[in-house]
Structure 1
Amino acid sequence: MKDLVQDGDSLVGASTLEDGVDRRVFLKAALGTGFAAAVLPVEAQTLVKTDVTGLSAGDHLIVINGQEVPVYRAQPEGKTNPPVILVISEIFGVHEHIKDVARRFAKQGYMAVAPDLFVRAGDASKVPNIADLMRDIVGKTPDAQVMLDLDTVVNWARQRGGDTDKLGITGFCWGGRITWLYAAHNPKVKAGVAWYGRLVGEPTANSPKHPIDIAQNLKTPVLGLYGAKDTGIPLESVERMRAALDKGNSGSTFHVYANSGHAFHADYRPSFNEADAKDGWRRALDWFRTHGVV
């Protein structure tokens, strides 16, 4: 099956795996199975598992400038023109937790789309440790390419019936940083929710700007959900970002959880804080609904 996705002034093919393809082979080849090697073993006793009852969900390939980009999509079965939520992964890629988050949004009436934005650098699920993952996968994924990929994914979602006039974005850790940046990049984004994404940093060739650099001119309301005990994202950087946002008029805000550290929403990791994760999820849904992503 073949769709066409508008990419700037050109058309790129969007191949979807729906007929005559062994999905198990595709999953192993394109997105990996289960969870990323770098986060094993998984805290199985706390895993949230969202079924596909009432949903249309599956894996797709979008071809962007000759590169096949895997995408996981979930949406309510039979619902026309659902609002669209982009779900941006952590550094570990689109593993089972990110897919489950997409299904959770689908249960709320959204078309949720989670693209593998690291695919050009390699398979994030197979890298055994975080240091190699940061150097060989994340460090070789330019922000500019991520913005282009997300633009194309949005167009693909629109062509598949999603209402991209009601577009939201959410992301976790690395994806939280991308949430801030893409909200500034694409004026069609109505609202964003950034979960513990890095806010400040030194510029590099692949990451020339960080969220604090776009804060003052940001127009899209973004809710930042952060942990006070996050040793990698100190509260000082949250306060710097808050002060920069206050100079603009995006309506963005933060909620900081006093008893949580990093990755408190990740129910497969020891950092999971169930109470704060549930509260953050409620706040995220309220944020999207309040800002027209409904």
Structure 2
Amino acid sequence: MMCISQSTNRRPSFIASSRRDDVPLSARGWRDYIVPGVRVKLSGRPDRPSVAIRNKEDPMCVDNDSRPPIAPIAGGSAGSRDFRLTSADGTRFMAHAARAGKPTGAGMVVIPDVRGLHPYYKELADRFAEVGVDAVAIDFFARTAQSDDRSDSFDFMSQVPQTKPDALQADIAAAVAHLRSKDGGEARSIFSVGFCFGGALSYLQAASGLGYAGVIGFYGWPLGLSRWPDRPKPIDAVSRYKCGVLSLFGGADQGIPQTAVDEFDAACRKAGVKHDSTVYPGAPHSFFDRKQTEFAEASADAWRRVQAFVRQNTKG
């Protein structure tokens, strides 16, 4: 796994500062604390000092057995299926659609991390459907990969550089069109949620012209990745954003420092873009995972925020 946690006996500082790694990872006893442009939650548990670490700019988010930290709701979904969408250039690519049992009019495009249509993202689409949000999760690699396999044997790092921004955007647009179709639920309000690499793509949807009601990024790279400098950077497109943004970051994510979070938030505020940004102290890049039991409360809070953001921005 490329995103790991490790205990330490170092006693962390509880002094408010812009250094998020100075705050313990325990979610228990959190209280709201505000730093410029960012809502942060601080722990009140100095008896549980530990830190989470990961390699800087390590883009992988999920293991083969990673799953969303969300309990299923029996009867909430009207069903889900694996199928293929057709992009503007005729490419047929893997997708997973989930229909809400009691639709609210919201539709969600789930944009994965670099592993593509991993089971994690299929299950996340199912969880959205169970709370009334029709959803479709997509894959990135129909043009480059020789197989549909997205398990640990899939060499995603050789595939990602071969993807093209225009093609990725066309695939996302096909997912949006599906959600607006009768087969997809005729969603009135379209949202996107992305993780890591997909988080950056999700931010960029706000400037895509596709009429999103809101976009969500889980540890998305707001300033882009130095690993792939030719890719569009979310911060460069902020002046063209047409909807609100929800950002969720891990405080121990060495690849997305607090300075990057602050810079993105400042750019959004300058452009008049509503940006709700939350940092979870001590949480690593991939904290939103059922296996990351240390961050269960952080994950629960993040899921509540996602649902509230969707409710607030869905047309009646």
What TM-score do the two structures reach when normalised by structure 2? Answer: 0.71
Q: How far apart, in 1, do the equivalents of 2:162 and 2:229 lie?
A: 7
Q: How far apart, in 2, do the equivalents of 1:104 and 1:38 lie?
A: 19
Q: How far apart, in 1, do the equivalents of 2:250 and 2:268 lie?
A: 19
Q: How far apart, in 1, do the equivalents of 2:225 and 2:306 lie?
A: 29
Q: Please give the root-mean-square deviation of Cα atoms over the aligned residues, in Å.
A: 2.9
| Cα shift at 1:68 | 1.6
Question: Are residues 229 and 203 of structure 1, via their aligned partners in 2, closer, same or farther at CA, if it must alter by over 3 Å?
Answer: closer
| Cα shift at 1:186 | 2.8
The alignment status of 1:172 with 2:195, answered yes or no, reads yes
Residue in 2 aligned with 1:125? Answer: 150
Structure 2 counterpart SS, 1:191: strand
Structure 2 counterpart SS, 1:163: coil
Q: How far apart, in 1, do the equivalents of 2:66 and 2:241 lie?
A: 37
Aligned residues of 1:111 and 1:162 also touching (Cα < 8 A): yes
Deviating more after overlay: 198-207 vs 243-252: 198-207
Which of residues 263, 287, 294 is equivalent to 1:240?
Answer: 263
Q: Look up the equivalent residue of 2:170 and give its one-letter code.
A: L
Residue in 1 aligned with 2:115? Answer: 92
Which of residues 141, 146, 167 is equivalent to 2:168?
Answer: 146
Which of residues 264, 268, 279 is equivalent to 2:301?
Answer: 279
Which of residues 280, 283, 290 is equivalent to 1:257?
Answer: 280
Q: Deviations over 1:27-53 (max 9, x none)?
A: xxxxxxxxxx99556368x96563774
Aligned residues of 1:221 and 1:252 also touching (Cα < 8 A): yes
Q: How far apart, in 2, do the equivalents of 1:271 and 1:143 lie?
A: 35
Question: Are residues 155 and 43 of structure 1, via their aligned partners in 2, closer, same or farther at CA, if it must alter by over 3 Å?
Answer: closer
Question: Are residues 63 and 252 of structure 1, via their aligned partners in 2, closer, same or farther at CA, if it must alter by over 3 Å?
Answer: same
Question: Are residues 263 and 187 of structure 1, via their aligned partners in 2, closer, same or farther at CA, if it must alter by over 3 Å?
Answer: same
Q: How far apart, in 1, do the equivalents of 2:86 and 2:125 lie?
A: 21
Structure 1 counterpart SS, 2:207: helix
Q: Deviations over 1:192-218 (max 9, x none)?
A: 111001111468999442011012332
Which of residues 231, 251, 254 is equivalent to 2:254?
Answer: 231
Q: How far apart, in 1, do the equivalents of 2:218 and 2:61 lie?
A: 20
Q: How far apart, in 1, do the equivalents of 2:132 and 2:265 lie?
A: 31
Q: How far apart, in 1, do the equivalents of 2:115 and 2:304 lie?
A: 24
Q: Which structure has more helix as a fraction of its residues?
A: 1
Q: Look up the equivalent residue of 2:262 and give its one-letter code.
A: E
Question: Are residues 272 and 112 of structure 1, via their aligned partners in 2, closer, same or farther at CA, if it must alter by over 3 Å?
Answer: farther
Residue in 1 aligned with 2:136? Answer: 113
The alignment status of 1:218 with 2:246, answered yes or no, reads no
Deviating more after overlay: 233-242 vs 278-287: 233-242
Residue in 1 aligned with 2:91? Answer: 67
Aligned residues of 1:262 and 1:271 also touching (Cα < 8 A): no
Question: Are residues 161 and 94 of structure 1, via their aligned partners in 2, closer, same or farther at CA, if it must alter by over 3 Å?
Answer: closer
Is there any run of 5+ residues in structure 1 with no aligned partner, and where? 1-36
The alignment status of 1:137 with 2:162, answered yes or no, reads no
Aligned residues of 1:106 and 1:112 also touching (Cα < 8 A): yes
Deviating more after overlay: 253-262 vs 49-58: 49-58
The alignment status of 1:200 with 2:235, answered yes or no, reads no
Is there any run of 5+ residues in structure 2 with no aligned partner, and where? 1-59
Deviating more after overlay: 233-242 vs 56-65: 56-65
| Cα shift at 1:289 | 0.9
| Cα shift at 1:247 | 0.9
The alignment status of 1:155 with 2:153, answered yes or no, reads no
Question: Are residues 200 and 101 of structure 1, via their aligned partners in 2, closer, same or farther at CA, if it must alter by over 3 Å?
Answer: same
Question: Are residues 210 and 272 of structure 1, via their aligned partners in 2, closer, same or farther at CA, if it must alter by over 3 Å?
Answer: farther
Q: Deviations over 1:239-276 (max 9, x none)?
A: 111111111112122111112120111224x5872111
What TM-score do the two structures reach when normalised by structure 1? Answer: 0.76
Aligned residues of 1:223 and 1:252 also touching (Cα < 8 A): yes
